[in-house]
Amino acid sequence: MQTTLYSPRLACISIPSLSAYPHKALIDHSRSKHLSPRRLFTDCNYLQVIAKVAAESHSQIMGSSGDGVLTGDHTLLSFLGRKDSGSDDELIILLSHVQAACAKIASLLASPSTVKAACEMKPSSPSVTTSGRDAPKPLDLVANDIIKAALKCSGKAAVIASEEDEMPIWLNDTAPYVVVFDPLDGSRNIDASIPTGSIFGIYRRLEETDGLPEAEKAELNVLQRGEKLVAAVYSLYSSATVLCVSIGSGAHVFTLDRSNGDFVLTNSNLMMPTRGQIYSVNDARYFDWPEGLRNYIDDVRQGKGQNPKKYSARYICSLVADFHRTVLYGGLAMNPRAHLRLVYEANPLSFIAEQSGGKGSDGKRRILDIQPIELHQRLPLFLGSADDISELLSYKNIQQLVNPGYEV
């Protein structure tokens, strides 16, 4: 069975229905109430079902191993619903919509007819927008529509801001959360079937801004420092669809079970090695780098750094994929020039890096300490193992301040 997505932009795109969408409880509910897949995702009455799932999961007794690592088959919702998880029902509802959107995007990307149709669309915008953003690819816009609809439907996002939109969007005067996101990181790689991802940062709404004009309070809410994040998520669309979630008490990895649409816990309390043996950066830019960064790379490649082992290079050119590998195996993932976005990419990933024992820096400052001054602000980004980042920073001059005009 096929269903057409609800957005007018997606009128020509069909994707498999239900099996990779929201939590199985919602699917079962939709079947019992004879709801169509479209209504399942757009009818906000089903928030009551989400709330019921969250409430029931709070009463569940969860298994745990002696080292504090959870054992057994846990879905994202049951994991967040533990009494000691630190999350509230409203955050669980919001994250349930995030996971549903990511599952839908994963299904979209896995469909050959969808990818072909989307990649044949010609974007109408110029290569660079008036705000300095890269012009979105067709699937960027599709993913953006899916996520915005999910967040709006959650009823828990007061304001949202997307890398693909010029300005933030105010949704709800009383909702408790603020969500910033990159809907489809690495989209230029889709034609080559290289992994892509989505990135989310979640803040609390600044109640002190409630009396301000809508545009002003929207901007102030989305330009919070990363240290104020209450949750961050990234989704990796690859051979498996992986969701890494942190609500400020560690980082936890869930993998999409395509047979029932659940994200199942596969790695709790994920810890990044304190030092790795892999660095991820575009080596082709070596001669444009500052001396400090060249010296660091020369040293670790030859085994002359603090780690006597020689480092290897692994570079996918998809930030989420390079970062996910770094979280698992240690090392560094970096872009030394001011290219990545502080609000949408650097802050959420640095939050997860720190929650898993690593670090995030712009080459001089801790990322989470930086006050954003504009929505689409760019900066250098260095993410990775604590010891590797500290060693890299000791080389001082590592930010590439000059862009000679790369086309790729």
pLDDT-derived band of residue 115, with 50, 70 and 90 as boundaries? low
Q: How much is the CA Rg of the chain, to the nearest whole Å? A: 21
Instruction: Examine the residue annotation and report whether 345 is marked as an active-site residue of this protein.
Output: yes
Instruction: Examine the residue annotation and report whether 182 is marked as an active-site residue of this protein.
Output: yes
> Domains (ranges, CATH) in the chain?
2-267 (3.30.540.10), 278-393 (3.40.190.80)
Exactly one of 182, 219, 257, 322 is catalytic; name it. Answer: 182
Exactly one of 134, 227, 299, 387 is catalytic; name it. Answer: 134
- Is-contact 6 41, C-beta < 8 A? yes
Q: Where are the alpha helices (DSSP H) in 302-346?
A: 319-329
Predicted confidence (pLDDT) at residue 25 exceeds the cutoff of 60: no
Exactly one of 345, 354, 362, 388 is catalytic; name it. Answer: 345
Structure tokens that stand for 5 in this block: 């997505």
Residue 346 is classified by DSSP as I
Exactly one of 109, 151, 171, 184 is catalytic; name it. Answer: 184
Which of left, alpha, beta for 251 (phi over 0: left; psi -120 to 50: alpha)?
A: beta
Structure tokens that stand for 242 in this block: 């992986």
Torsions phi, psi of 231, nearest 5?
Answer: -160, 155
The amino acid occupying position 266 is: T
Instruction: Examine the residue annotation and report whether 164 is marked as an active-site residue of this protein.
Output: yes
- Provide, rounded to the nearest whole percent, the portion of the chain with pLDDT above 70: 77
Question: Can you tell me the distance from the alpha carbon of 254 to that of 257, in angstroms, rounded to the nearest whole number?
Answer: 9
Residue 181 is classified by DSSP as E
Exactly one of 94, 139, 163, 332 is catalytic; name it. Answer: 163
pLDDT value at position 48? 45
The amino acid occupying position 77 is: L
Exactly one of 26, 140, 219, 354 is catalytic; name it. Answer: 140
Torsions phi, psi of 42, nearest 5?
Answer: -105, -20
Instruction: Examine the residue annotation and report whether 134 is marked as an active-site residue of this protein.
Output: yes
User: CB-based burial of residue 225 (10 Å sphere; 0-12 exposed, 13-18 middle, 19+ buried)?
Assistant: middle
pLDDT-derived band of residue 192, with 50, 70 and 90 as boundaries? confident
Q: What angle do CA 293, 299, 302 make, to 5 degrees?
A: 140
Question: Can you tell me the distance from the alpha carbon of 249 to that of 277, in angstroms, rounded to the nearest whole number?
Answer: 27
Residue 75 is classified by DSSP as B
Structure tokens that stand for 404 in this block: 């000679």
- pTM of the predicted protein model: 0.84
Exactly one of 145, 164, 165, 262 is catalytic; name it. Answer: 164
3-class SS of residue 338: strand
pLDDT value at position 55? 43
Exactly one of 165, 185, 219, 388 is catalytic; name it. Answer: 185
Q: What angle do CA 150, 151, 156 make, to 5 degrees?
A: 130
User: CB-based burial of residue 269 (10 Å sphere; 0-12 exposed, 13-18 middle, 19+ buried)?
Assistant: middle
User: pLDDT tens digits, residue range 44-100?
Assistant: 554 445 444 544 444 343 344 334 455 457 899 999 988 777 788 999 999 999 999
pLDDT value at position 407? 67
pLDDT value at position 136? 77
User: CB-based burial of residue 70 (10 Å sphere; 0-12 exposed, 13-18 middle, 19+ buried)?
Assistant: middle
- Is-contact 108 15, C-beta < 8 A? yes
Predicted confidence (pLDDT) at residue 215 exceeds the cutoff of 80: yes
Instruction: Examine the residue annotation and report whether 184 is marked as an active-site residue of this protein.
Output: yes
